[in-house]
Amino acid sequence: MIRYNPKGLTTPQIDESRRRHGDNVITPPKDDSAWRLLLEKFRDPIIRILLLAAVLSLIIGFVHKDFTESVGIICAIILATCVGFWFEWDAQRRFRRLNQVNDDIPVKVMREGSIREIPRRDVVTGDVVYIESGETIPADGELVEAVSLKINESTLTGEPEVDKTVNEADFDPEATYPSNAVLRGTTVADGYGVMVVTAVGDATEAGRVTEQSTVQSEEQTPLDRQLTRLSRLIGRLGILLSALIFCVMLGKAIFAGGLLESDWLTISQHVLQIFMVSVAIIVMAVPEGLPMSITLSLAMSMRRMLKTNNLVRKMHACETMGAVTVICTDKTGTLTQNRMHVQELIRYDTLPAREFAEVVALNTTAFLDAEGHIIGNPTEGALLEWMRAGGEDYEPLRAEAKIVNRLTFSTERKYMATIIESGISGRRILCVKGAPEIVRTMCAPDGKDAQVAEQLLGFQSRAMRTLAVAWAETASDDCLEAVKAGGLHFAAVAAISDPVREDVPAAVARCLEAGIGIKIVTGDTPATAREIARQIGLWNDAADGERNHITGTEFAAMSDEELLGRVQELKIMSRARPLDKQRLVKLLQQRGEVVAVTGDGTNDAPALNFANVGLSMGSGTSVAKDASDITLLDDSFASIATAVMWGRSLYRNIQRFVLFQLTINFAAITICFIGALFGTDMPLTVVQILWVNIIMDTFAAMAMASLPPNPEVMRDKPRPRDEFIITPAMARTLFTCGAAMVVVLLGMLFRWTILQGGLTVEQLTVFFSTFVFLQFWNMFNAKGFETRHSVFTCLGGCREFFLILAAIGVGQVLIVEFGGEVFRTEPLSWMQWAEVIGFTSLLAVGGEIIRAIHRKRKQLR
Q: At residue 293, does pLDDT exceed 70?
A: no
Nearest CA to 333 out of 150, 532, 537, 527 is that of 532
Question: Can you tell me the mean pLDDT for 105-123?
Answer: 88
The pLDDT score that the predictor gives to residue 276 is 63
What are the b/e assignments for 828-857, b being 16+ CB within 10 Å? beeeebeebbeebeebbeebbeebeeeeee
**pLDDT attached to residue 675:** 67
**How sure is the predictor about 54, in pLDDT bands with cuts at 50, 70 and 90?**
confident
Using DSSP bridges, classify how beta strands 489-497 and 465-473 pair: parallel, antiparallel or unpaired: antiparallel
- CA dist., res. 739 & res. 809, Å (int): 23
3-class DSSP assignment, residue 493: strand
Q: How far apart are CA 386 and CA 368, in angstroms?
A: 11
3-state SS record for 37-105: HHHHHCCCHHHHHHHHHHHHHHHHHHHHCCCHHHHHHHHHHHHHHHHHHHHHHHHHHHHCCCCCCCCCC
**Alpha carbon separation from 396 to 342, 422, 423, 430 (Å, rounded):** 21, 12, 10, 19
Task: Work out the burial of residue 537: count CB atoms within 10 Å of its CB; fewer than 13 is exposed, 13-18 middle, 19 or more buried.
Answer: middle
How far apart, in whole angstroms, are the C-alpha atoms of residue 206 and residue 186? 9
817/819 Cα distance (integer angstroms): 6
- pLDDT tens for residues 554-568? 999 999 999 999 999
Q: Report the alpha-carbon distance of residue 828 to residue 836 in Å, rounded.
A: 10
More confident residue, 321 or 669: 321
What is the residue-wise DSSP string for 536-592? Answer: TT---TTT--GGGEEEHHHHHHS-HHHHHTTTTT--EEES--HHHHHHHHHHHHHTT
Residue 155: exposed, middle, or buried by beta-carbon count in 10 A (0-12, 13-18, 19+)? buried
Q: What is the pLDDT of residues 200-257, one digit of tens each?
A: 988 888 887 766 655 555 556 677 777 777 777 777 777 787 788 778 778 877 877 6
Of the candidates 632, 539, 597, 599, the one whose C-alpha atom is nearest the C-alpha of residue 332 is 599
According to DSSP, the β-strands at 517-521 and 489-497 are unpaired
Which pLDDT band, with edges at 50, 70 and 90, does 452 fall under?
very high
Provide the CATH number for the domain formed by 11-26+103-204 in this structure. 2.70.150.10
Does the pLDDT value for residue 97 go beyond 50? no
- The per-residue pLDDT for range 829-844, each reduced to its tens digit, is 999 999 999 999 999 9
Given this model, what pLDDT does residue 236 score?
Answer: 77
pLDDT digits (tens, 9 = 90+) for 703-735: 887 888 888 888 888 888 778 888 888 899 999
pLDDT at 567: 93
Bridge partner list, 327: 518, 596
Largest Cα span, the chain: 129
Q: What is the pLDDT of residues 566-621, one digit of tens each?
A: 999 999 998 887 788 889 999 999 998 999 998 877 667 778 888 899 998 877 76
Catalytic site includes residue 330: yes
Q: Which of 798, 649, 701 is nearest to 83 (CA)?
A: 701
Dihedral Cα 637, 101, 17, 133, nearest 10 deg: -70
Lowest mean pLDDT among 367-376, 422-431, 832-841: 367-376
Of the candidates 122, 163, 330, 626, the residue annotated as catalytic is 330
Say if residue 623's pLDDT is above 70.
no
3-state SS assignment for residue 629: coil
Q: What are phi and psi of 108, to 5 degrees?
A: -90, 120
Contact in structure between 521 and 580 (CB atoms under 8 Å): yes
CATH homologous superfamily of domain 345-495? Calcium-transporting ATPase, cytoplasmic domain N (3.40.1110.10)
Q: Which residue has the higher pLDDT, 130 or 262?
A: 130
Please tell me the predicted confidence (pLDDT) of residue 798. Answer: 81
Q: Helices 264-285 and 45-64: crossing angle, nearest 10°? A: 150
Measured between alpha carbons, how far is 440 from 434 in angstroms, rounded to an integer? 10
Task: Report the SS3 class of residue 348.
Answer: coil
d(CA 131, CA 661): 65
Phi-psi region for residue 380, left (φ > 0), alpha (ψ -120 to 50) or beta? alpha
> How many whole angstroms separate alpha carbon 338 and alpha carbon 161?
11
pLDDT the model gives residue 677: 67
Percentage of the chain surpassing pLDDT 70?
83
pLDDT digits (tens, 9 = 90+) for 668-711: 778 777 766 666 556 776 567 667 766 766 678 778 878 888 88
pLDDT tens for 167-180 read 888 888 878 788 89
The answer to whether residue 8 scores a pLDDT higher than 80 is: yes
Q: What is the pLDDT of residue 98?
A: 37
Binned at pLDDT 50, 70 and 90, residue 667 comes out as: confident
pLDDT of 767 over the 60 cut: yes
Task: Give me the pLDDT at residue 326, please.
Answer: 95
Ordered by start, the domain boundaries in the chain are 11-26+103-204, 310-336+502-643, 345-495
Q: How far apart are CA 841 and CA 194, in angstroms?
A: 81
Asked if 302 and 91 count as a contact pair (C-beta separation under 8 A), the reply is yes
The average confidence (pLDDT) of the chain is 82
Nearest-angstrom CA–CA distance, 336 and 160: 12
Task: Tell me if 695 sits within 8 A of 826, measured CB to CB.
Answer: no
CA neighbor of 179 nearest in space, from 192, 195, 168: 168
According to DSSP, the β-strands at 341-347 and 181-182 are: unpaired
Looking at domain 310-336+502-643, which of 3.40.50.1000, 3.40.228.10, 3.40.50.2300, 1.10.630.10 is its CATH number? 3.40.50.1000
| pLDDT value of residue 549 | 94
How high is the pLDDT of residue 69? 59
Tell me the per-residue pLDDT of 140-167, one tens digit each, with 9 for 90 and over.
999 998 877 888 887 677 677 788 988 8
Interval 380-410: pLDDT, tens: 889 999 999 989 999 999 999 999 999 887 7
Contact 494, 467 (CB under 8 A): yes
Give the model's pLDDT for residue 335.
86
